[in-house]
Structure 1
Amino acid sequence: MTEKIAVLGAGSWGSMLADILVENGHEVRVWSKSKEQVDELNTKHTNSHYIKDFTFPTKMKAYADMSEALDGVDDILFIVPSQATRSVARQANEVLNQMNIKPYIIHGSKGIEKGSYDRMSQVLQEEIDEKNRKSISVISGPSQAEDVARRDITLVTAASDDMPSAEHFQKLFMNDYFRVYTNNDIIGVEIGGALKNIIALGAGALVGLGYGDNAKAALMTRGIAEISRLGVSFGADPLTFSGLSGLGDVIVTATSSDSRNWRAGYQLGQGKKLDDVVKDMGMVIEGIATNQAAYELSKQRGVEMPITSAIHAVINDEETVSDAISNLMAREGRSEQV
């Protein structure tokens, strides 16, 4: 069955998920606040700032007017930077208040909101009136947009407190190269998807300093341990962190030069200042804001997160990357099972 789907956000991942939905036979409207980006998508069918050398289907239409993008839709995919999700959701709710529709809501943004420490499903729940939505879900997992553009085999998770909604999105997105599993642990899926960006920053920094595979494996393994500790403190299932949205996402994001968080960490490891790294990237580096939120949460909840704390010290210019690594290695010995 063909569905009308609005994709709010036209970055690399948003535009590739829109491409999948079009390929799966759905009517897709992509919204962007950038008129130039909308014009490029509609006329050249490219998104050159985010996805190089890729042509999108002519059936995919882009809009700068959110009212046009949301007109009569069955589903809304929010996929803007996490720190912008609240403002976009608020704008969408104003539009939905004028329409007689109640779409399924899903998001693919990987971050935690600064200040409130809300996960993105919580932001959407707060900003989208209940009368304007059927349910809220998340899609997450090891999914570099560049690999999806090459039709590489990709596996992700659709999670929701409402399993029929997760299964609904599983059917919408799944095809012969994009496989979707379901999960009812939305807390764990969102925390894993957000905090893996912190580990990717650290992994890039290690490579920037010249460390090898042993160091990267150590960082990823212990990174998963502290992500799991924080997630469990919120009620997440620890098994979620050994799945696609936990371990899987850490592996791809912490080893791929396509990851902007990895690239940012790599430049930090080479001695560049954070402001210069952000300017050089030209795109949102989710791990920076998420690191601040996770660091503050770890202090509030009494959860030990030494890697997150070390990266926080580097980002805030309190330690060099080399000093942060030395301090981590000098920590008192302990059991791996704690």
Structure 2
Amino acid sequence: MKSFDSIIIGGGVIGSTIAHGLAERGLHVAILERKEIADGASHAAAGLLGVQAEWDEYDPLYEMARKSRALFPKVAEKIRAKTGVDIGYEVKGIYRIANTEEEFERIQQIRSWQVSAGEEAWLLSSEELKKFEPNVSSEVISAVYYPTDGHVLAPALAKGQALAAAASGAEIFEYTTVQQIVVKNGKVEGVQTTEGFFPCKQVCIAMGAWSTPFLKRFNEDYGTYPVKGEVISLKSNRPLLHAPLFLKRFYIAPKRYGRYVIGATMKPNSYQEDVQAMSIVDLLQKAFSIVPALQEASWDRTWAGLRPEANGGRPYMEAHSTIQGLFVSTGHYRNGILLSPYVGEYMADLMVNNYVY
């Protein structure tokens, strides 16, 4: 088996973006994926770049998210140039809506600190919102519009990063399950897989909700677990929304070709990717109460994804303190798509700077 400089375990958006960054920096990289590239959470995500819509209070990840959002124009251009893949990057803003007085006070508070942090955030009355989005129900009493938030086609982004990595020299191995990371004398020597042994000098764990067994080398408390999100897609022959609507972890996102993505449930510790009938009912009822015209839309499909949440509530992105060549980047929960450009740059720099020739 040929030897690699770096092996990324996991072919989701995080792993593929790191691989792309490493390949661009001149390292010989392999992506090992137990199923197919972008087959997990990256495939299921709605692709919202909701830096302001998602964050209710300031924390260090907010700054990372802002920096990552700013990288998307370059990412979209680079992937298109290298692979021809259009990641569907659009900046039409996102509306954070309120349908109760309590939620109205909440979005005002959020707007206040975000404006103080230098972001644009426009407070709109129900009447003002209807001028931009006439199909929104009168039950929505107010909204804050974030003009610099946007969205992408998540599967296209994940696959595009993998293809761009391959265009830069990386190799992709699908249906290859890693069984063990081989370490001798404090150094990574390679990985044992269902397809044989892959020698390498570096390994990065980027397996999402399946990362836990390999994280114990870092810390016994480290681990990830799935939070299942069920999603619905409807189709309309007429435009119903200009920009996505976001309400307390619920969203309606207009996509290309008349599709409207509605989601998502939050069910922790479930590895089952089925979609329950009651979840569909709940999502549709909420969507119809916000945009009644969606009742006239036609059925497209439904699916579920397993978001990888970290035990401590913050993603793991680091080098092992004593094992040379061992790295981790996982547990990005709801924001893997949004954070991926920044994480890819950060981890690629970290791994190159720690590479021992």
> TM-score, normalized by length of structure 2?
0.28
Higher strand share: 2
> TM-score, normalized by length of structure 1?
0.29
Bigger Rg over Cα: 2
Higher helix share: 1
